[in-house]
């Protein structure tokens, strides 16, 4: 018989903070992916998920930057104890402090589905670069993988529109 998991989110959040990791996968079953995410010191990319996603702030506040249908950047503030629904294909950038954490629920990736990550110029808002990955196991932290690849290349970080170079953060 299947044992339904019960998770103490506050305890798991403390463990996540102590571990130094960014993601703690709670379960990955055939159609469901649920994980606890800890905030980052710095986040600049917009993630484009191939499935719908919900984010619930367990501790702290999130500023969810997203791209509108017109391509403009907007921000939704999600206070502690609140949640937000993000439809598949919405470019979004959840930004919250390293001592905060959120519960994320989404459909587990299907074979061959690609998670995409976009960066935009901070000066003129022009598109800079896209990274794309097939994510088989979310515990591998695809955001950190995308960051390393993007920030290791000055070419990727240089705006072809205005010449601005996005600086690499000290800690990825």
What CATH number is attached to the domain comprising 83? Answer: 2.60.120.10
Calpha distance 161→172 (Å, rounded): 26
Strands 91-95 and 83-86 come out as unpaired
Calpha distance 147→63 (Å, rounded): 19
The pLDDT value given to residue 142: 72
Domain region containing 38 = 9-157
Residue 93 lies in a domain: yes
Residue 59 lies in a domain: yes
pLDDT digits (tens, 9 = 90+) for 42-64: 888 999 999 999 999 999 999 99
DSSP labels, 77-126? EE-TT-EEEE-TT-EEEEE--TT-EEEEEEEPPPTT-EEEEEEE-TTT--
Tell me what percent of the residues of the chain surpass a pLDDT of 90.
74
Residue 168 lies in a domain: no
| Encoded tokens for 148 | 């390393």
CB burial readout 130-165, b (16+ within 10 A) else e = ebebebeebeebbbeebbeebbeeeeebebeeeeee
pLDDT digits (tens, 9 = 90+) for 87-103: 999 999 999 999 999 99
What's the domain count of the chain? 1
Residue 171 lies in a domain: no
Residue 45 lies in a domain: yes
The pLDDT value given to residue 19: 93
The pLDDT value given to residue 30: 82
Calpha distance 24→147 (Å, rounded): 19
pTM over 0.85: yes
- Print pLDDT tens along the chain (172 aa): 778 889 999 999 999 999 989 899 999 888 899 999 999 888 889 999 999 999 999 999 999 999 999 999 999 999 999 999 999 999 999 999 999 999 999 998 888 899 999 999 999 999 999 999 887 777 776 777 888 899 999 999 999 999 999 998 874 4
Residue 116 lies in a domain: yes
The pLDDT value given to residue 56: 98
Residue 4 lies in a domain: no
Residue 172 lies in a domain: no
Judge whether 113 and 134 are in contact, CB under 8 Å: yes
């Amino acid at each position: 018989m299947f044992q339904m998991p019960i998770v103490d989110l506050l305890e798991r959040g403390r463990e996540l903070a102590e571990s130094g990791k960014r993601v703690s996968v709670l379960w990955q079953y055939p159609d469901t992916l649920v994980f606890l995410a800890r905030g980052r010191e710095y986040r600049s990319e917009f993630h484009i998920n191939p499935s719908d996603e919900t984010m619930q702030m367990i501790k702290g506040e999130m500023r969810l930057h997203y791209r509108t249908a017109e391509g403009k950047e907007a921000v939704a503030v999600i206070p502690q104890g609140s949640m937000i629904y993000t439809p598949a294909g919405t470019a979004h950038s959840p930004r919250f402090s390293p001592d905060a954490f959120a519960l994320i629920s989404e459909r587990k990736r299907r074979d061959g589905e690609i998670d995409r990550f976009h960066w935009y110029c901070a000066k003129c808002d022009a598109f800079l670069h896209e990274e794309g990955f097939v994510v088989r196991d979310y515990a591998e932290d695809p955001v950190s993988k995308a960051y390393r690849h993007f920030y290791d290349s000055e070419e990727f970080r240089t705006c072809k529109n205005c010449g601005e170079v996005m600086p690499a953060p000290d800690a990825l």
